[in-house]
């Protein structure tokens, strides 16, 4: 057994026993099982009642409530085999297999669907210790290797039961639990800080784009009243193809574009078709396939984008750094863009002739710049707070790698 690089000592300074053995997960757990779908057994969803969690309740190996529903006490009793409560560990067995979450203590009673397994620790082990071990790269890599299934890779319950867990003394488990839970508390507080700044920005956008708040010129005078103009008066649709000298770009919703060869996404495409891709210049706007829900994106560099996209270029009266947050604001998406959207669910698309006729606000260029500067300053704060969050998350990852080798 590999020796951990990071160990704790007892309060008296002595060493804890060596980690010389493993035990199977099922040996320290109650019956390991998976959930089911209540509607399969005739139970309807409820406006309130017992929580019912799906596999989107785990994000980056952290429990989040996700798109939960409610079921009746009767349905929960029928599905009692997969009931969850605070301290239970849940593991995704389909989709992003192996991701792990710990049910929070405030959840007294809940249930899960068939894409999740439940592990309830019952013997001489801290659930948080096991949860952290399951989050480690060592276990995550193992789960990814042993996945089964063809069209939908999955972990079997037998593979989860067979997971090796190090046998560690309870006092050292407690030390590890207390230390890592403290780190998690810091991370959660930093997440809350990021979210609070993002909400501040949303609030600022709402007030600025609704003109509830107005800026003044540098000399203290009032800026002219905002005009409304057709989108096509300020933005020209651009179709420029056969630019093989430019890099292929991909859309990152909320962040604009990046070079496709620098993206973490595995995107397959026929390079022969690149001649039909549309050229974009820096600060052009892109109507993409999900613009109906997320607004327009901005080109962060010159490049080429999918021929399925529409490219718009502003005239000399347009400050792109003003219109980018506007085109992603609820004022625009819900108040303007929604009237151009046809179809339902994933079949939605934007009717472009109606899009061109949309009336959009047009402040004078100087006020556009003031608003852009204000929102950019908030973006800078958010970026710094996110960098702090990433630093803490990377530190935790490093700690897990040293503890669980």
Residue spans of the domains in the chain: they are: 22-166, 168-218+364-405, 227-362
- List of the chain residues with pLDDT < 70: 147-151, 265-269
Q: Which SS3 state, helix, strand or coil, does residue 252 take?
A: strand
Rg (CA), the chain: 26
Residues 25 and 91 sit within 8 Å (Cβ to Cβ): no
Per-residue pLDDT, 147: 59
Main-chain dihedrals φ then ψ at residue 370, nearest 5 degrees: -60, -45
Residues 16 and 169 sit within 8 Å (Cβ to Cβ): yes
Per-residue pLDDT, 145: 83
Separation of alpha carbons 405 and 402, rounded Å:
6
CA distances from 384 to 18, 79, 378, 389 (A): 41, 45, 10, 9
| Sheet bearing 50-53, strands edge to edge | 69-71, 50-53, 110-112
- Segment 144-190, tens digit of pLDDT: 887 555 567 789 999 999 999 999 999 999 999 999 999 999 999 99
CA distances from 290 to 4, 157, 343 (A): 46, 37, 13
For β-strands 89-92 and 58-59, DSSP reports them as unpaired
Give pTM, 2 decimals: 0.85
What is the biggest distance separating any 2 CA atoms in the chain, rounded to whole angstroms? 77
Shared fold status for 22-166 and 168-218+364-405: no
- Segment 316-360, tens digit of pLDDT: 999 999 999 999 999 899 989 999 999 887 778 899 999 999 999
The domain made up of 227-362 is a member of CATH 3.90.220.20: yes
The CATH number of the structural domain formed by 168-218+364-405 is: 1.10.287.1120
Per-residue pLDDT, 212: 96
Compute how many other C-beta atoms are within 10 angstroms of the C-beta atom of residue 84.
Answer: 23
CATH superfamily of 22-166: DNA methylase specificity domains (3.90.220.20)
Residues 299 and 249 sit within 8 Å (Cβ to Cβ): yes
């Amino acid at each position: 057994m590999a020796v951990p690089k990071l160990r704790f000592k007892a309060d008296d300074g002595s060493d804890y026993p060596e980690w010389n053995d493993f035990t199977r997960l099922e040996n320290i757990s109650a019956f390991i099982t998976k959930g089911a779908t209540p509607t399969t057994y005739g139970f309807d969803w409820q406006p309130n009642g017992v929580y019912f969690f799906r596999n989107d309740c785990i994000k980056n190996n952290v429990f989040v409530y996700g798109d939960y529903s409610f079921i009746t006490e009767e349905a929960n009793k029928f599905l009692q085999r997969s009931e969850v409560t605070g301290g239970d560990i849940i593991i995704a067995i389909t989709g992003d297999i192996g991701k792990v979450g710990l049910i929070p203590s405030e959840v007294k009673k809940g249930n899960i669907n068939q894409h999740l397994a439940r592990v309830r620790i019952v013997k001489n082990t801290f659930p948080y210790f096991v949860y952290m071990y399951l989050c480690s790269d060592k276990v995550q890599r193992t789960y990814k290797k042993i996945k089964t299934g063809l069209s939908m890779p999955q972990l079997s319950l037998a593979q989860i039961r067979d997971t090796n867990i190090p046998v560690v003394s309870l006092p050292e488990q407690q030390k590890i639990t207390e230390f890592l839970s403290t780190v998690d508390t810091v991370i959660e507080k930093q997440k809350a800080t990021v979210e609070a700044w993002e909400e501040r920005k949303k609030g600022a956008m709402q007030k600025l784009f609704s003109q509830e708040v107005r800026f003044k010129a540098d000399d203290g005078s009032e800026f002219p009243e905002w005009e409304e103009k057709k989108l096509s008066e300020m933005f020209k649709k651009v179709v420029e193809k056969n630019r093989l000298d430019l890099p292929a770009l991909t859309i990152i919703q909320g962040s604009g574009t990046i070079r496709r060869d620098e993206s973490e996404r595995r995107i397959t495409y026929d390079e022969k078709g690149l001649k039909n891709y549309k050229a974009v210049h820096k600060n052009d706007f892109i109507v993409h396939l999900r613009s109906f829900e997320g607004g327009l994106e901005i080109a962060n560099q010159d490049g080429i984008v999918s021929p399925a996209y529409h490219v718009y270029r502003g005239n000399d009266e347009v400050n792109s750094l003003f219109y980018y947050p506007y085109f992603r604001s609820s004022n625009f998406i819900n108040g303007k863009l929604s009237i151009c959207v046809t179809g339902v669910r994933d079949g939605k698309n934007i009717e472009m002739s109606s899009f061109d006729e949309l009336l959009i606000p047009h402040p004078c260029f100087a006020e556009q710049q003031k608003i852009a500067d204000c929102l950019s300053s908030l973006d800078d704060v958010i970026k710094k707070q996110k960098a702090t969050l990433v630093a803490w998350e990377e530190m935790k990852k490093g700690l897990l790698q040293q503890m669980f080798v």
